[in-house]
Amino acid sequence: MAEQVRPEQQQEPPGLTGPMVPQPDHGEDSYRGSGRLERKRAFITGGDSGIGRAVAIAFAREGADVAIGYLPEEQVDADETARWVREAGRTCVLVPADLTHEEQARAAVRTAVDGLGGLDVLVNNAGYQMARRETFEDVETDEMDRVMRTNLYALVWVTQEALQHLGEGSAIVNCSSIQAYQPSQSLVDYASTKAAINNMTVNLAAELGERGIRVNAVAPGPIWTPLQPATQLPEKVASFGQDTPLGRAGEPAEVAHAFVFLASAVTGSYVSGTVLGVTGGKPVF
Ligand code: NAD
Ligand code: MG
């Protein structure tokens, strides 16, 4: 895949898909399902845009009904994801909520489960970072708090609530990052949450194995999503991903396959406690 021209650009968090140049590829024209998630019910946090939207489209085409979590200000992106899920003939439950608040996070899971009539797959994909800073002293408490609450606390709350519904054959897929292995200076707090997510993935897999629940994570490299123009310096956006062995940023569609592989009992039945890198060649060990 040739690298597309990416002009300098900036948005404010959480960022939207519409203003992005070029538009990301979520697999709208390319993803073909083969029944790997037939009749499954999946809740995908951050399913409105980026990697989460690509996962929602892939899951729906694999036969799953889907609920997507997102922030209220992302409604336009959530509606677009829902359109693709419904075009695949599947249900899409919309769950606007700010997951940094415990009550909202727990209620979001209940709304998803009510709408889907149960739960088989949880994708903890919502995430936040802030990279517009130069030194460690630039890390502000409010920003760090948002990073920790979005990436770690919400994952705990959502997973605890989901465990009341997940049973034998269910799967949890967390979203880690290359940052867990090669932390960038500007992302010191974010990177630490992703390392913690790897650790939690292993812990949870060990605990939930006896209940027949598999727990894994995907570690994406640089992927072209709204998170990037919303949180990186504009000049970093222009060169985004060029430092990978494959020499380019990845598209959300290229990450979705890994989530399907791990979520599906067809392909992932003996895979638990692992982190699968989709990094354009950067090492995840
Ligand atoms: P994205 O902005 O499209 O998706 C992140 C989503 O998180 C948002 O759409 C939003 O709905 C959700 N979110 C953020 N804060 C929230 C809150 N308080 N309450 C509810 N939802 C909230 O960007 P993305 O890159 O697709 O991010 C998805 C995941 O991928 C994140 O966990 C991110 O850390 C991870 N990741 C991204 C990259 C990359 O280069 N894009 C690389 C490695 C890992
Ligand atoms: Mg979004």
Residue 47: the pLDDT is 99
What pLDDT is attached to residue 184? 96
Beta bridge partners of 69: 95
pTM beyond cutoff 0.85: yes
pLDDT of residue 46: 99
Tokens at residue 180, please?
A: 């867990």
pLDDT of residue 1: 62
Cβ(23)–Cβ(4) under 8 Å?
no
Residues 189, 128: Cα–Cα separation, whole Å: 10
Q: Which of 130, 116, 75, 122 is nearest to 97 (CA)?
A: 75
CB 98: neighbour CB atoms within 10 A? 17
Q: Are 57 and 256 in contact (CB under 8 A)?
A: yes
Phi then psi dihedrals of residue 20, to 5 deg = -70, 135
pLDDT less than 70: residues of the chain:
1-5
Between CA 208 and CA 194 the distance in angstroms is: 20
C-alpha 90 to ligand 1 mean position (Å): 23
For the CA of 52, the nearest atom of ligand 1 = 26
Ligand 1: atom nearest CA of 194 is: 34
Q: What is the pLDDT of residue 253?
A: 99
pLDDT value for 268: 98
Catalytic one among 31, 128, 190, 270?
190
- Nearest residue to 220 via CA among 261, 265, 279: 279
Count Cα neighbours of 75 within 13 Å in the Cβ-side half-sphere. 2
CATH hierarchy code of domain 41-278: 3.40.50.720
Q: What is the pLDDT of residue 2?
A: 57
* Ligand 1 probe mutation, 68, 227, 236, most atoms within 8 A of CB: 227
